Amino acid sequence: HKDLLDIESLSPDEVRHIFDTSARFMEINSRSIKKVPILKGKSVVLFFAEPSTRTKTSFDMAAKRLSADSFSLAATGSSLSKGEGLKDTVLTLQAMNPDAIVLRHSLSGAAGFIASHLDCSVLNAGDGWHAHPTQALLDGFTLFQHWQDFQDKKILILGDIAHSRVARSDVQLLSMLGCRIRVCAPRTLLPRGIHNWPVEVYSSLDKACRGMDAIISLRLQLERQEAGLLPDLREYSSRFCLQPGHVQKAAPGVKIMHPGPINRGVEISSGLADCADSLILEQVGSGVAVRMALLYLYLARSKPDQEITEE
């Protein structure tokens, strides 16, 4: 593929190959010297028109550890703030001949739109409510490192499903790998087409947690709520904030996950976020390895047999 826009365009074999490649980069990342010359001479533009800590930093770190040059552009400080449109901005970037553009944007479909105008690779770092494929891949890879096999694993995705690109991409990836998925949310935070998703829908968090092997709590996306529909935070947290009592109903050793950033005490209790079964910071570490694997696989695609070399 030229671009990574969503999970739907990947096959299970391709996902497995991404996980296997990520595992090799996890090993390299555990060393004291982490830099390898695999993408020397390649250049990557990190174009983040929405805020990010994890995705932007880990893509930047991934590019640098592969010896690629990375360049950052944000909405503020760029000519976007002077009214330049998305198409003109990315055509301008392409004229500088980068090998990839990593895009985060508030509009669903923005990554696909720019990919259709560009010759270089486009990696979607989150577009509106649509997709966050690299987050889903790092979530899946984090679990893969613990489980190896996903068949019939039971996963609950909890919280603001309606506005979450992570929920959409996680459901696509984890169901493709053989997991059984539940979602739990207030009715107002479920998307309209939820009954077409391959999930069971719960409104009681107590019932939803029963027997789960992993629980992924999602951030309440306060910036994306429609006017007048913002949930009352106290009422929301009293019903949907993940607490130790809920987790006791899950399978022993249940994995606690959250893509971040966290609203502590709103969607997950502080104690659970920091508990021994929490994989939240492990997800962040996996994110660097998965993004190294993706940059390697998409940018070295002109030389598919190129080995990961350390010289």
Q: Would you tell me which residues interact with ligand CP (CB under 6 A)?
A: 52-55, 126, 135, 259-261
Annotated binding-site residue? 264:
no
Alpha carbon distance 97, 100 (integer Å): 9
Q: DSSP assignment, residue 66? A: T
Q: Which is nearer to ligand CP, 128 or 259 (CB)?
A: 259
Alpha carbon distance 95, 137 (integer Å): 30
Annotated binding-site residue? 224:
no
Annotated binding-site residue? 76:
no
Shortest Å distance, C-beta 155 to ligand CP = 17
Shortest Å distance, C-beta 13 to ligand CP = 26
Strand order in the sheet with 100-105: 69-74, 43-48, 100-105, 121-127
Shortest Å distance, C-beta 54 to ligand CP = 4
Closest CA relative to residue 268, chosen from 257, 277, 276: 257
Q: Which is nearer to ligand CP, 98 or 259 (CB)?
A: 259
Annotated binding-site residue? 83:
no
Q: Which is nearer to ligand CP, 36 or 125 (CB)?
A: 125
Closest CA relative to residue 256, chosen from 152, 156, 133: 156
Shortest Å distance, C-beta 58 to ligand CP = 8
Alpha carbon distance 242, 87 (integer Å): 41
Annotated binding-site residue? 51:
no
Q: Which is nearer to ligand CP, 21 or 283 (CB)?
A: 283
Q: Which is nearer to ligand CP, 22 or 300 (CB)?
A: 22
Annotated binding-site residue? 132:
yes
Annotated binding-site residue? 210:
no
Shortest Å distance, C-beta 66 to ligand CP = 19
| Binding region | 54-55, 82, 104, 132, 135, 165, 219, 260-261
Residues making up the binding site for carbamoyl phosphate: 54-55, 104, 132, 135, 260-261
Annotated binding site for L-aspartate: 82, 165, 219
